[in-house]
Structure 1
Amino acid sequence: MTDPIRLSKRLIELTGCSRREAELYIEGGWVTVDGEVVEQAQFKVADGQVVALLPGATPDAHEPMTLLLNQPAGLDFDAAQRLLSPDSRWPDDRAQVRLLRSHFARLTTTLALQPDASGLLVLTQDWRTLRKLNEDASKLEQEYVVEVSGEMAPNGLERLKRGLGDLPPVKASWQNETHLRFALKNPRPGVIKAFCKAVGLHVKSMKRIRIGGVPIGKVPAGQWRYLGQAERF
């Protein structure tokens, strides 16, 4: 019996690959230990454990991922991150992506939700996506559906579209008798509640359903999907 060794070292012994290639195989989810995928190069394996490469394995660095979470209201970023797991991926996600646990590491967000809002939150490992969202924040339209109560003041929609006092003009329309749609760019925190209050309405709930050209779609609250290859903010 010998002491357990690092998975990456065992893989080098088995395949003759380099240390970097071994790490890439493992991080890419291509290596199994006793039939279970292990993504940690430092994982310790004993003599009797079976280490194998999956068919089609390639020692390529995985692309940074962007995840779209339908965040429930009232969570901070840390709490939102804790919702992310293989089990909380939306079952109907059509993105052709091999799910890896490393996709949940080193995530960053931007374009925060309005206070007390639910809906689309972008979490990304991709610096290009993060830069796009930050640099184009003043150009990207964010769409919210807002449940309201009360009676709107006369000509309330027209007043919202023209601007009210220190509130800028905003695109607003009725979705149904109790829900308004707002489309606005880089909204400051609390501005949707201020819009509604200015025309006699009280906000009961609000949900962000779109940023630029990317909607959250039918993803249920607390679940997430990958940003599709053809989707663009």
Structure 2
Amino acid sequence: MSEPVRLSKRMSELGISSRREADEWIEKGWVKVDGKVVSQLGSKVLPHQKITIEKQASQEQSRRVTILINKPMGYVSGQAEDGYKPAVALISEDTHWKDDPSKEKFRPSQLRSLVPAGRLDIDSVGLLVLTQDGRIAKHLIGENSPTDKEYLVRVKYTRPGRLPDSELNMLRHGLKLDGKALLPAKVEWQNDDQLRFVLREGKKRQIRRMCEAVGLRVIGLKRIRIGNVRLGDLPTGQWRYLRPEEKF
């Protein structure tokens, strides 16, 4: 027989909500299991049981926004640290991209519970996702996230000659970080000093550490795509809303 699991965990597995959202809705009496309201935190369900949510939960979820920002250098992705500002500090009515095709209007309340779905180093630039939607955060940064990310990386080879093809192949597959083998990556030259990386994982300073391992020094790093969502023409330091039809 299948083992019962926490209701909030099951809702997260089904893509209904994040666990935190689920717990909030359970406390408010907005969750039903087989047609009956469940309001006790920690309640468990069996996999075959039907979970539904009240319209209040759907309405609350639909008001949650996801923001795409072209992060400049010098900003951290999450909490402020060592005197550096977090990327969320860049989000205001003044920095909202004038060519944003979304019809969503900026409200200060949108800054509440807005968290980075993935990180971008302080000395890296480009596409950063900030969201109030736990489902998107889970999809992008979950342990088994299927979403790939694309980077343009300007490099300088620190050894004589050019980077050998054998070392380029090591970047693609064969390196270890922190004692653990990295997943295969797509790595190819764009021009004489710029590489294109496509990764499906995001260990701390991963690309920089990969490059160091084969004698490359990173001069500049820019993320240009996450899944099906591209940075495009979004100017540095400005932001726009993820549109309803856009899917990572």
Normalised-by-shorter TM-score class: 0.5 to 0.7
TM-score by structure 1 length? 0.67
Q: Which runs of 5+ in 1 are unaligned?
A: 1-59
Q: CA deviation at 1:174?
A: 1.3
Q: Which runs of 5+ in 2 are unaligned?
A: 1-58
How many Å separate the matches in 2 of 1:89 and 1:130? Answer: 22
| Contact 1:214 1:232 (8 Å CA) reproduced | yes
Report Cα offsets for 1:112-168 as digits up to 9, x if no partner: 114521111111112222232233653211111111112542113223223235553
| Contact 2:155 2:220 (8 Å CA) reproduced | yes
Give the stretch that moved more between structures: 70-79 or 196-205. Answer: 70-79
Q: CA deviation at 1:101?
A: 2.7
Q: Which structure's CA Rg is the greater one?
A: 1
- Name 1:229's counterpart in structure 2: 244
- Note if 1:185 corresponds to 2:200: yes
Distance of aligned partners of 1:71 and 1:165 in 2 relative to their CA distance in 1, 3 Å threshold? closer
How many Å separate the matches in 1 of 2:105 and 2:122? Answer: 34
- Note if 1:147 corresponds to 2:154: yes
How many Å separate the matches in 1 of 2:144 and 2:220? Answer: 24
- Note if 1:69 corresponds to 2:84: no
- Name 2:92's counterpart in structure 1: 85
- State percent identity of aligned pairs: 40
- Name 1:163's counterpart in structure 2: 174
What code does the residue aligned with 2:75 have?
Answer: L
- Note if 1:117 corresponds to 2:124: yes
| Contact 1:148 1:178 (8 Å CA) reproduced | yes
Count of residues in correspondence between the two structures: 174
Give the stretch that moved more between structures: 135-144 or 183-192. Answer: 135-144
Distance of aligned partners of 1:115 and 1:170 in 2 relative to their CA distance in 1, 3 Å threshold? farther
How many Å separate the matches in 2 of 1:127 and 1:139? Answer: 16
Q: CA deviation at 1:227?
A: 0.3
| Contact 1:152 1:200 (8 Å CA) reproduced | no
How many Å separate the matches in 2 of 1:217 and 1:97? Answer: 19
| Contact 1:111 1:137 (8 Å CA) reproduced | no
- Name 1:219's counterpart in structure 2: 234
- Note if 1:208 corresponds to 2:223: yes
How many Å separate the matches in 1 of 2:143 and 2:240? Answer: 23
- Of 92, 109, 115, 1:102 maps to 109
How many Å separate the matches in 2 of 1:199 and 1:179? Answer: 15
Runs in 1 of length 4+ with deviation above 4 angstroms?
A: none
